[in-house]
Structure 1
Amino acid sequence: MPTCKSLIHIIEVIMLELYQFELSHYCEKVRFILDYKELPYRKIEVTPGIGQLDVYRMSGQRQVPVLKDGATVIADSTAIAEYLDKTYPDKPIIPSDPKLRGLTLIMEQWADESIGINARQCLLSAIGRNADLRKSVLPSNTPDFLRNLVGTDFLAGLGIGLPDPTKSAQDTMKHDLASLCFILQEQPYLVTDQPTLADFSVAAMTMYVKFPEGPYLDLPAGLKGKGTPGIADVGMFEPFFTWRDRLYADYRKASSTMPSSSTSSSGPTSINID
């Protein structure tokens, strides 16, 4: 009969490992899927730069997310989603019906390549324009003098400012969110009457335009519920964010602990995500 200690060791050995950035919306897509399928996993926070060398040695590329399932290593959020649906078929996220399958995969690609990219540009622009948001992305142990400095226009005066607002990205995001509101007017999910990869992709990719308020992510407190002014606070898009909040409440598990780190986590949180 195995002891409690040996059982814990067995569980640790077989548990899925997600190499991630906590603030990555592509990693959030994978976390959504893992939670929906009720698969236990361990988060391994990758330090941008040096930590990505370990990711490269393991997966042959430096980007996250990377999922390790025993001896199997899978990179890229789409490849991970397809692997999880094939290997752990309970609660499928990709429909078997050809038409619905095609719609799901097309919508996931649209979310990754349109919403995800434009949402990141919107957030970077908002950080450059909003002092409170700039301070919110700093680690909690940042010295007060540095926090106050970041909250001023000193950096911009030195020519080190963040990108100017990207009107094209903001206009595209508004168009995408309006389209999603229309789709969701008369149906509970984007493709079928059950959540699919399309739903989890769209919910995760919109994280940067408005961070969820619940206990789902290990975020600085000042970031929760914040996002891009002119998008996150516009009533026209409230039906979408209400839908997304319900998706989080129904399927995303609360983050009870900070992610384990592959290297020191004392540096600033990075949002320069590949």
Structure 2
Amino acid sequence: MLELYQFEVSQYAEKVRLILDYKGLPYRKIEVTPGVGQLELFRLSGQRKVPVLKDGNTVIADSTAIALYLDKQYPEKPLIPVDPKQRGLCLLIEEWADESIGIKSRPVLFEALSKNLSLRSAILPSATPDILKNLVGSVPGEFLNLLGVGVGASPEAVKEAKTAIHQDLEALSLMLVDSPYLVADYPTLADFTVAGLSMLLKFPSGNYLNIPEALKGKGVPEFTDNAAYQPFFNWRDRLYADYRKPLTATTTTYTSGSNTPTSINID
């Protein structure tokens, strides 16, 4: 079975999970424990970032590389159109989304964390020890704002990211007027990339992620409460309903560094 090394709230891992579900490929999620788990990941893939996909003896790092591998290895339900113009647009949108929404949603979320105590601990990987979750949740927002400067989430960076995301969501909402998908009359890599990477702006409302119920359907109010962007979020909800497989009572995940499966608790 395919194995996906991941963080549950990684938007790049969500991009891959959407693709795996769309193609109907069964896979086992392995939650990477921050720190020690990333050392294990380095031994496996030569780098410490998620997602990483293991298919037998083949190991692939990076969400784009994983998507291209899956499309070549499992060609049923192709992700990239054959038509040259559609193919070009699909690849262009995928690359743009990776570098725009994927990156710029992080400082925006960081600012939201400084204003929401429960959100801070809730988005940590499920394998994070409770003591660390409690510590993170108790950090004053003012300290997080100061810390944000050191991790690329300074007020100037947040402002710039917000401006870019406003433009991104406006463009996407306009593109989806009277169109079921971004590129073709069927979902492509562009759709799953944009949908997955927008996760940090608004978590999906269905039972798709192992996150607290209070987080489902919630996000950054500046974007989620803007009526102009509802066409985009409504489109994303339909994409999830059509192609993303919800968690079930039998869904299991594994924690890196352990051979013992840990059941996902469904509230």
Q: TM-score range, shorter-chain basis?
A: 0.7 to 0.9
Q: Identity across aligned pairs (percent)? A: 57
Find the partner of 2:161 among 155, 165, 169. Answer: 169
Q: Which position in structure 2 is the counterpart of 1:3?
A: none
Q: Which position in structure 1 is the counterpart of 2:201?
A: 209
Gaps of 5+ in 1: 1-14, 266-274
Matches within 5 A, 1:248-259: 248-256=240-248, 257-259=251-253
Gaps of 5+ in 2: 261-267
Matched, 1:263 2:257: yes
Offset, 1:262: 1.2
Deviations 1:82-117 (A, max 9, x none): 111111010001112222111111100011000111
Q: Which position in structure 1 is the counterpart of 2:222?
A: 230
Matched, 1:38 2:24: yes
Matched, 1:77 2:63: yes
Find the partner of 1:102 among 84, 88, 92. Answer: 88
Find the partner of 1:29 among 1, 6, 15. Answer: 15
> Could you say what secondary structure the match of 1:230 adopts?
helix
CA spacing shift, 1:130–1:33, aligned 2, 3 Å: same
Matched, 1:60 2:52: no
CA spacing shift, 1:195–1:243, aligned 2, 3 Å: same
Matches within 5 A, 1:174-213: 174-213=166-205
Q: Please tell me the residue identity of whatever aligns with 1:150.
A: G
Deviations 1:144-201 (A, max 9, x none): x948x93674x63698655555111111111100000000002100000000000000
Q: Which position in structure 1 is the counterpart of 2:265?
A: none
C-alpha distance in 2 between matches for 1:81 and 1:95: 14
Work out whether residues 135 and 151 of structure 1, in 8 Å CA contact, stay in contact via their aligned partners in 2: no
Worse-superposed segment, 227-236 or 83-92: 227-236
Q: Please tell me the residue identity of whatever aligns with 2:70.
A: L
Worse-superposed segment, 50-59 or 169-178: 50-59
C-alpha distance in 2 between matches for 1:45 and 1:151: 24
Offset, 1:263: 3.4
Offset, 1:224: 1.2
Task: Output the TM-score relative to the length of structure 1.
Answer: 0.83
- The higher radius of gyration belongs to 1
Deviations 1:27-59 (A, max 9, x none): 101100000000011011111221111111111
C-alpha distance in 2 between matches for 1:158 and 1:230: 19
C-alpha distance in 1 between matches for 2:178 and 2:143: 50
CA spacing shift, 1:160–1:146, aligned 2, 3 Å: farther
Work out whether residues 114 and 145 of structure 2, in 8 Å CA contact, stay in contact via their aligned partners in 1: no
CA spacing shift, 1:221–1:161, aligned 2, 3 Å: farther
Offset, 1:120: 1.2
Work out whether residues 132 and 151 of structure 1, in 8 Å CA contact, stay in contact via their aligned partners in 2: no
CA spacing shift, 1:170–1:71, aligned 2, 3 Å: same
Work out whether residues 18 and 42 of structure 1, in 8 Å CA contact, stay in contact via their aligned partners in 2: yes
Task: Output the TM-score relative to the length of structure 2.
Answer: 0.85
C-alpha distance in 1 between matches for 2:70 and 2:242: 20
> Could you say what secondary structure the match of 1:17 adopts?
strand
Find the partner of 2:232 among 226, 240, 264. Answer: 240
C-alpha distance in 2 between matches for 1:132 and 1:106: 37
